Protein backbone atom coordinates (compact mmCIF):
# COMPACT_ATOMS: atom_id res chain seq x y z
CA UNK A 1 0.00 0.00 0.00
CA UNK A 2 2.76 2.56 0.57
CA UNK A 3 3.66 2.32 -3.12
CA UNK A 4 0.08 2.96 -4.24
CA UNK A 5 -0.26 5.82 -1.77
CA UNK A 6 2.94 7.34 -3.08
CA UNK A 7 1.75 7.15 -6.66
CA UNK A 8 -1.64 8.68 -5.87
CA UNK A 9 0.05 11.56 -4.09
CA UNK A 10 2.29 12.14 -7.10
CA UNK A 11 -0.70 12.02 -9.45
CA UNK A 12 -2.41 14.70 -7.47
CA UNK A 13 0.58 16.96 -7.15
CA UNK A 14 2.21 16.85 -10.59
CA UNK A 15 0.77 18.37 -13.76
CA UNK A 16 -0.77 16.09 -16.38
CA UNK A 17 2.23 16.49 -18.67
CA UNK A 18 4.68 15.08 -16.11
CA UNK A 19 6.29 11.77 -16.91
CA UNK A 20 5.27 9.87 -13.75
CA UNK A 21 2.81 7.17 -14.79
CA UNK A 22 1.21 4.02 -13.41
CA UNK A 23 3.61 1.11 -13.81
CA UNK A 24 6.64 3.38 -13.90
CA UNK A 25 9.85 1.46 -13.16
CA UNK A 26 10.27 3.71 -10.12
CA UNK A 27 7.69 1.53 -8.43
CA UNK A 28 8.42 -1.86 -9.98
CA UNK A 29 10.67 -4.53 -8.48
CA UNK A 30 13.79 -5.52 -10.41
CA UNK A 31 14.68 -9.10 -11.37
CA UNK A 32 17.76 -10.35 -9.53
CA UNK A 33 19.66 -12.94 -11.60
CA UNK A 34 21.63 -15.60 -9.74
CA UNK A 35 25.33 -15.65 -10.62
CA UNK A 36 27.51 -18.64 -9.64
CA UNK A 37 31.17 -17.82 -9.00
CA UNK A 38 33.71 -20.65 -9.25
CA UNK A 39 36.99 -19.63 -7.55
CA UNK A 40 39.51 -21.81 -9.33
CA UNK A 41 41.28 -24.92 -8.18
CA UNK A 42 40.59 -27.45 -5.46
CA UNK A 43 42.70 -27.45 -2.26
CA UNK A 44 43.36 -31.21 -2.55
CA UNK A 45 43.87 -33.38 -5.61
CA UNK A 46 40.73 -34.87 -7.11
CA UNK A 47 41.15 -37.70 -9.62
CA UNK A 48 37.79 -39.33 -10.21
CA UNK A 49 35.17 -39.84 -12.89
CA UNK A 50 32.05 -37.72 -13.14
CA UNK A 51 29.18 -40.07 -12.18
CA UNK A 52 26.88 -38.53 -14.83
CA UNK A 53 29.07 -38.42 -17.97
CA UNK A 54 32.06 -40.61 -17.07
CA UNK A 55 34.44 -37.74 -17.84
CA UNK A 56 37.67 -37.61 -15.83
CA UNK A 57 37.38 -34.75 -13.35
CA UNK A 58 40.94 -34.04 -12.31
CA UNK A 59 41.69 -30.98 -10.20
CA UNK A 60 44.59 -29.99 -7.98
CA UNK A 61 45.83 -27.13 -5.80
CA UNK A 62 47.90 -24.55 -7.67
CA UNK A 63 49.81 -22.49 -5.12
CA UNK A 64 49.19 -18.75 -5.17
CA UNK A 65 46.39 -19.05 -7.71
CA UNK A 66 44.06 -20.56 -5.12
CA UNK A 67 44.10 -17.57 -2.75
CA UNK A 68 44.32 -15.02 -5.57
CA UNK A 69 41.18 -16.18 -7.34
CA UNK A 70 39.25 -16.67 -4.10
CA UNK A 71 39.98 -13.03 -3.24
CA UNK A 72 38.78 -12.00 -6.71
CA UNK A 73 35.60 -14.05 -6.30
CA UNK A 74 34.85 -12.42 -2.94
CA UNK A 75 35.36 -8.98 -4.42
CA UNK A 76 33.11 -9.76 -7.40
CA UNK A 77 30.46 -11.20 -5.06
CA UNK A 78 30.43 -8.05 -2.93
CA UNK A 79 30.19 -5.79 -5.99
CA UNK A 80 27.37 -7.77 -7.58
CA UNK A 81 25.38 -8.11 -4.34
CA UNK A 82 25.70 -4.36 -3.92
CA UNK A 83 24.13 -3.97 -7.35
CA UNK A 84 21.20 -6.26 -6.55
CA UNK A 85 22.40 -9.60 -7.91
CA UNK A 86 22.14 -12.86 -6.03
CA UNK A 87 25.50 -14.63 -5.85
CA UNK A 88 26.48 -18.18 -4.92
CA UNK A 89 30.13 -19.13 -4.37
CA UNK A 90 30.71 -22.67 -5.65
CA UNK A 91 33.60 -23.06 -3.18
CA UNK A 92 32.85 -21.36 0.12
CA UNK A 93 36.46 -21.13 1.38
CA UNK A 94 39.94 -21.62 -0.08
CA UNK A 95 40.14 -24.92 1.83
CA UNK A 96 36.78 -26.41 0.82
CA UNK A 97 37.09 -29.45 -1.47
CA UNK A 98 34.35 -29.63 -4.14
CA UNK A 99 34.52 -31.63 -7.38
CA UNK A 100 33.56 -30.13 -10.73
CA UNK A 101 30.28 -32.07 -10.63
CA UNK A 102 29.68 -30.82 -7.09
CA UNK A 103 30.17 -27.23 -8.24
CA UNK A 104 27.86 -27.62 -11.23
CA UNK A 105 25.20 -29.15 -8.98
CA UNK A 106 25.47 -26.19 -6.61
CA UNK A 107 25.03 -23.78 -9.51
CA UNK A 108 22.01 -25.69 -10.81
CA UNK A 109 20.35 -25.88 -7.38
CA UNK A 110 20.81 -22.13 -6.98
CA UNK A 111 19.12 -21.56 -10.35
CA UNK A 112 22.19 -19.77 -11.69
CA UNK A 113 21.71 -17.88 -14.95
CA UNK A 114 25.48 -17.76 -15.42
CA UNK A 115 28.48 -19.65 -14.07
CA UNK A 116 31.82 -17.81 -13.92
CA UNK A 117 35.07 -19.70 -13.39
CA UNK A 118 37.94 -17.52 -12.18
CA UNK A 119 41.54 -18.58 -12.82
CA UNK A 120 44.96 -17.05 -13.39
CA UNK A 121 47.66 -18.30 -15.74
CA UNK A 122 50.86 -16.58 -16.93
CA UNK A 123 50.29 -14.83 -20.26
CA UNK A 124 46.74 -16.14 -20.78
CA UNK A 125 43.96 -13.54 -21.07
CA UNK A 126 40.88 -15.30 -22.33
CA UNK A 127 37.27 -16.27 -21.76
CA UNK A 128 36.40 -19.82 -22.80
CA UNK A 129 32.74 -20.30 -23.82
CA UNK A 130 30.69 -23.44 -24.27
CA UNK A 131 30.24 -24.25 -27.95
CA UNK A 132 28.41 -27.08 -29.68
CA UNK A 133 30.98 -29.66 -30.73
CA UNK A 134 33.64 -28.79 -28.13
CA UNK A 135 34.75 -31.97 -26.36
CA UNK A 136 37.07 -33.83 -24.00
CA UNK A 137 38.29 -37.36 -24.65
CA UNK A 138 40.30 -39.97 -22.79
CA UNK A 139 40.10 -43.30 -21.01
CA UNK A 140 36.79 -43.77 -19.19
CA UNK A 141 36.10 -45.59 -15.91
CA UNK A 142 36.23 -48.92 -17.77
CA UNK A 143 39.56 -48.04 -19.39
CA UNK A 144 38.01 -47.72 -22.84
CA UNK A 145 38.25 -44.55 -24.97
CA UNK A 146 35.45 -42.11 -24.31
CA UNK A 147 34.57 -38.76 -25.84
CA UNK A 148 32.14 -36.30 -24.23
CA UNK A 149 30.82 -33.59 -26.56
CA UNK A 150 28.99 -30.37 -25.64
CA UNK A 151 25.64 -30.42 -27.50
CA UNK A 152 23.21 -27.96 -25.88
CA UNK A 153 22.78 -25.22 -28.52
CA UNK A 154 20.71 -22.89 -26.32
CA UNK A 155 23.23 -22.99 -23.49
CA UNK A 156 26.07 -22.51 -25.99
CA UNK A 157 24.43 -19.46 -27.58
CA UNK A 158 23.96 -17.79 -24.19
CA UNK A 159 27.49 -18.72 -23.12
CA UNK A 160 28.92 -17.15 -26.28
CA UNK A 161 27.02 -13.89 -25.69
CA UNK A 162 28.04 -13.73 -22.05
CA UNK A 163 31.67 -14.58 -22.85
CA UNK A 164 31.82 -11.78 -25.43
CA UNK A 165 30.39 -9.29 -22.92
CA UNK A 166 32.82 -10.51 -20.26
CA UNK A 167 35.84 -10.27 -22.58
CA UNK A 168 34.92 -6.74 -23.66
CA UNK A 169 34.49 -5.56 -20.06
CA UNK A 170 37.69 -7.28 -18.95
CA UNK A 171 39.63 -5.76 -21.87
CA UNK A 172 38.62 -2.29 -20.69
CA UNK A 173 39.31 -2.93 -17.01
CA UNK A 174 42.60 -4.80 -17.47
CA UNK A 175 44.04 -2.67 -20.27
CA UNK A 176 44.87 -5.51 -22.65
CA UNK A 177 42.99 -7.63 -25.14
CA UNK A 178 40.98 -10.52 -23.66
CA UNK A 179 40.05 -13.09 -26.31
CA UNK A 180 37.00 -15.37 -26.55
CA UNK A 181 38.28 -18.72 -27.78
CA UNK A 182 38.33 -22.44 -27.21
CA UNK A 183 40.94 -23.94 -24.91
CA UNK A 184 43.54 -26.58 -25.74
CA UNK A 185 44.18 -29.43 -23.32
CA UNK A 186 46.46 -31.38 -25.69
CA UNK A 187 49.66 -32.72 -24.14
CA UNK A 188 48.49 -32.20 -20.55
CA UNK A 189 48.05 -35.82 -19.44
CA UNK A 190 46.60 -37.06 -17.16
CA UNK A 191 44.04 -34.40 -18.14
CA UNK A 192 41.80 -35.57 -20.95
CA UNK A 193 42.56 -34.06 -24.37
CA UNK A 194 40.12 -31.61 -25.95
CA UNK A 195 39.15 -27.98 -26.01
CA UNK A 196 36.62 -27.13 -23.27
CA UNK A 197 37.16 -26.98 -19.49
CA UNK A 198 35.59 -29.98 -17.75
CA UNK A 199 33.36 -27.83 -15.53
CA UNK A 200 31.94 -26.05 -18.60
CA UNK A 201 31.39 -29.42 -20.31
CA UNK A 202 29.45 -30.77 -17.31
CA UNK A 203 27.30 -27.60 -17.01
CA UNK A 204 25.01 -28.69 -19.83
CA UNK A 205 22.13 -26.42 -18.86
CA UNK A 206 23.98 -23.50 -17.26
CA UNK A 207 25.72 -20.93 -19.50
CA UNK A 208 29.33 -20.71 -18.36
CA UNK A 209 32.16 -18.21 -18.85
CA UNK A 210 35.57 -19.60 -17.86
CA UNK A 211 38.18 -16.88 -17.28
CA UNK A 212 41.97 -16.94 -17.35
CA UNK A 213 44.02 -13.86 -16.40
CA UNK A 214 47.76 -13.28 -16.77
CA UNK A 215 48.89 -9.66 -16.32
CA UNK A 216 52.05 -8.22 -17.87
CA UNK A 217 55.18 -9.33 -16.06
CA UNK A 218 54.50 -13.05 -16.11
CA UNK A 219 52.46 -13.50 -12.91
CA UNK A 220 49.55 -15.93 -12.67
CA UNK A 221 48.98 -19.55 -11.76
CA UNK A 222 51.38 -20.49 -8.96
CA UNK A 223 53.15 -17.11 -9.31
CA UNK A 224 51.30 -14.54 -7.13
CA UNK A 225 49.40 -11.73 -8.87
CA UNK A 226 49.64 -8.29 -7.24
CA UNK A 227 46.67 -6.53 -5.62
CA UNK A 228 46.20 -3.86 -8.31
CA UNK A 229 46.03 -6.47 -11.08
CA UNK A 230 43.63 -8.61 -9.05
CA UNK A 231 41.43 -5.56 -8.48
CA UNK A 232 41.35 -4.87 -12.23
CA UNK A 233 40.46 -8.52 -12.91
CA UNK A 234 37.61 -8.35 -10.37
CA UNK A 235 36.33 -5.11 -11.87
CA UNK A 236 36.36 -6.60 -15.36
CA UNK A 237 34.44 -9.68 -14.27
CA UNK A 238 31.87 -7.64 -12.32
CA UNK A 239 31.36 -5.26 -15.25
CA UNK A 240 31.13 -8.26 -17.56
CA UNK A 241 28.36 -9.87 -15.51
CA UNK A 242 26.40 -6.61 -15.43
CA UNK A 243 26.77 -6.24 -19.21
CA UNK A 244 25.87 -9.89 -19.83
CA UNK A 245 22.91 -10.01 -17.46
CA UNK A 246 21.51 -6.50 -16.99
CA UNK A 247 18.92 -6.36 -14.20
CA UNK A 248 15.49 -5.88 -15.77
CA UNK A 249 13.02 -3.70 -13.94
CA UNK A 250 9.32 -3.33 -14.53
- Residue 68 CB, shortest distance to Zn ion, in Å, is 10
CA–CA distance, 71 with 65 (Å, rounded to integer): 10
- Residue 211 CB, shortest distance to Zn ion, in Å, is 10
What value, to the nearest 5°, has the Cα angle with vertex 92 and ends 87 and 95? 155
- Residue 120 CB, shortest distance to Zn ion, in Å, is 6
- Residue 22 CB, shortest distance to Zn ion, in Å, is 51
CA–CA distance, 99 with 148 (Å, rounded to integer): 18
Identify whether the C-beta of residue 25 lies closer than 8 Å to the C-beta of residue 250.
Answer: yes
Check residue 119 for interaction with Zn ion (CB under 5 A). Answer: yes
Nearer to Zn ion, 55 or 242 (CB): 55
Identify whether the C-beta of residue 69 lies closer than 8 Å to the C-beta of residue 214.
Answer: no
Nearer to Zn ion, 113 or 234 (CB): 234
Q: How many residues bind Zn ion (CB under 5 A)?
A: 1
Span from 12-20, 102-110, 113-121, 199-207 in contact with Zn ion (CB under 5 A): 113-121
Identify whether the C-beta of residue 146 lies closer than 8 Å to the C-beta of residue 138.
Answer: yes
Nearer to Zn ion, 129 or 220 (CB): 220
Count of Cβ atoms closer than 10 Å to residue 28 Cβ: 12
Check residue 103 for interaction with Zn ion (CB under 5 A). Answer: no
Binding mask 31-50 for Zn ion (x = CB under 5 A): --------------------
- Residue 100 CB, shortest distance to Zn ion, in Å, is 13
CA–CA distance, 176 with 223 (Å, rounded to integer): 20
CA–CA distance, 70 with 76 (Å, rounded to integer): 10
Check residue 91 for interaction with Zn ion (CB under 5 A). Answer: no
* Chain residues that interact with Zn ion, rule: CB under 5 A: 119
Amino acid sequence: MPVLGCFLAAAVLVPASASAAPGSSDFAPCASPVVALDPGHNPVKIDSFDPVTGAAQIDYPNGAEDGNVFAVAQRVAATLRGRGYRVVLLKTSVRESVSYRGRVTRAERAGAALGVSIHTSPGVNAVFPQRVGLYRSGAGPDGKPRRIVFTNAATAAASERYAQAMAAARSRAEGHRVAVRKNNFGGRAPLWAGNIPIISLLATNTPWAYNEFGPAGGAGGSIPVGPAALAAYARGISDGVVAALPRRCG
